[in-house]
Amino acid sequence: MSALVWLKRDLRWRDHAPLATAALHEQALALYIVEPEWLASPGFDPQHLAFALACLAELRATLAARGLPLLVRVGPAVDVLAQLRREYPYRHLLSHEETGEGWSYARDRAVAAWCRAQGVLWTESPQTGVVRRLRDRKGWAARWHARMDAPEVAMPEGFAGARVDTPDGPTLASLGLPPARPLPAAGERAALDLLDGFLAGRGRVYRRALSSPLSAAEGCSRLSPHLAFGTVSMRHVHQATEATIANTPDRTLAHALRGFAGRLRWHCHFMQKLEDEPAIEHRNFARVCDGLREDAFDRERFEAWCEGRTGFPMVDACMRSLRATGWLNFRMRAMLVSFAAYHLWLHWREPGLFLARQFLDYEPGIHWSQMQMQSGTTGINTLRIYSPTKQAMDHDPEGVFIRRWVPEFGTPAYPRPIVDERAALRLARERLYALRATPEARAEADAVQQRHGSRKAGLPPSGARAPRTRRRAEAEASPLQQELFR
């Protein structure tokens, strides 16, 4: 039987089940499809494709050295698969599972229907801790560990590669796309180098460096684009981290890496939410929040936020830095969203799409869950309103980061604040706390908690006892939830 490996967000050689299985077949071929639906999706930015193509260039050489040709084609997935089958009559399609946006879910359903009609066997393998068709979250963390602690997939020596021409694939220019902003190093080698350097010592300052935009760029792992494009497997990162923690005599490093290791679970925990409820890309987790902000969308405020000219220097510095580099640390991402949601009273969808285009690491499951969490529409998480002034005092006390990105700050060229912070926050709090106190909101919070809450983390069902004040609510948040907000 002939096999076709359909590469998606798994652009690596190591720990790759579909590639390993393909080697057992009479003939094999690998394919990456540049899908028009992706290019047209509102969260897409040319930097995403540029990164994928750079990863593919390296992978193509890796696979060619083992006798496996890799084709890169452009078109709707079903059309490309059907055309290729006329040139190379494969019977077995192999890929990893994907937890993506609605268009990719619809495409997977179309591919499944096409495979059934054509008599093609399609085998999808998991590659993260996300569990398909999960009934409930009970025991999820144990399943995550079972998968992540299992041995990595043994990779074959070589393949009986199909004899096909492998012309050069598309480029941004050939697809009519503008050039991408400067990118970090792409591909599997770069991912492994980043991980090795982080575990060998760079990660020592992780806990201290994580929160400030001045230190986080160096002190965090910076693995997120690699996890999003699959140039390294989550299992490999987890196992390498656990091995370092167990073996290093450096207790500071081990302690720092324990914090990092916990975040790897959060990656899959958030993706699981989108897997279980794909609609959260578009609509509120807590439906009682429907209508809260939809009709109040102020485009001028939104544009000022996007362009980094809100008159709040820490917000503007973060936004400008993100636009230039494609990355921002967790706390500053959360602050940007909190500012959009509470200070500017913007619904999360458009700011979320804008940020998706800026983040090279755009991962829909994490992204939409976090957008809603930081906007107060999950119904179960503590409302966390970040003060940009406090964030600047805590994480950029000398104003170094602000001066770097907002050089005109302190001159007449810098805009005045676009909102009155006190008045905006008073109104936002009143609206949200009033809503959360309703019996409907409490009942719904229970349902959201049952479906999406991390029971292993011991999160108290927030609907069971409605928090009366913000301080009390924060005190009630579980340690793991608080850890997430650090």
Ligand X SMILES: Cc1cc2nc3c(=O)[nH]c(=O)nc-3n(C[C@H](O)[C@H](O)[C@H](O)COP(=O)(O)OP(=O)(O)OC[C@H]3O[C@@H](n4cnc5c(N)ncnc54)[C@H](O)[C@@H]3O)c2cc1C
User: Using CB under 6 A as the criterion, which residues of the chain lie in contact with ligand X when the complex forms?
Assistant: 220-224, 227-228, 260, 263-264, 266-267, 270, 329-330, 333-334, 337, 359, 361-363, 366-367, 370-371, 374, 484
Name which of 25 and 333 has its Cβ closer to ligand X: 333
Minimum CB distance to ligand X, residue 232 (Å):
10
- The answer to whether 414 is a known ligand-binding residue is no
Q: What is the C-alpha separation between 256 and 239, in angstroms, rounded? A: 16
Pick from 344, 266, 261: nearest CA to 302: 344
Instruction: Please tell me the distance from the alpha carbon of residue 317 to that of residue 266, in angstroms, as a whole number.
Output: 27
**Cβ closest to ligand X, residue 32 vs residue 266:** 266
Helix axes 251-276, 364-375, angle to 10 degrees: 90
Q: Which is nearer to ligand X, 363 or 396 (CB)?
A: 363
C-beta closer to ligand X: residue 68 or 237: 237
Between the alpha carbon of residue 363 and those of residues 89, 366, 370, 428, the distances in Å are 33, 6, 11, 28
C-alpha 464/C-alpha 393 separation (Å) is 36
The C-alpha R_g of the chain, in whole angstroms, comes to: 23
Report the residue number, 373 or 445, with the smaller CB distance to ligand X: 373
Query: Smallest Cα–Cα separation from 286: which of 130, 451, 427?
Result: 451
CA distance 164 to 306: 46
Rank residues 114 and 229 by Cβ distance to ligand X and give the closer one: 229
206 labelled ligand-binding: yes
Structure tokens of 93? 């399609």
The DSSP 8-state label assigned to residue 461 in this structure reads -
Provide the H-helix boundaries in 100-211. Answer: 102-118, 140-149, 188-200, 206-209
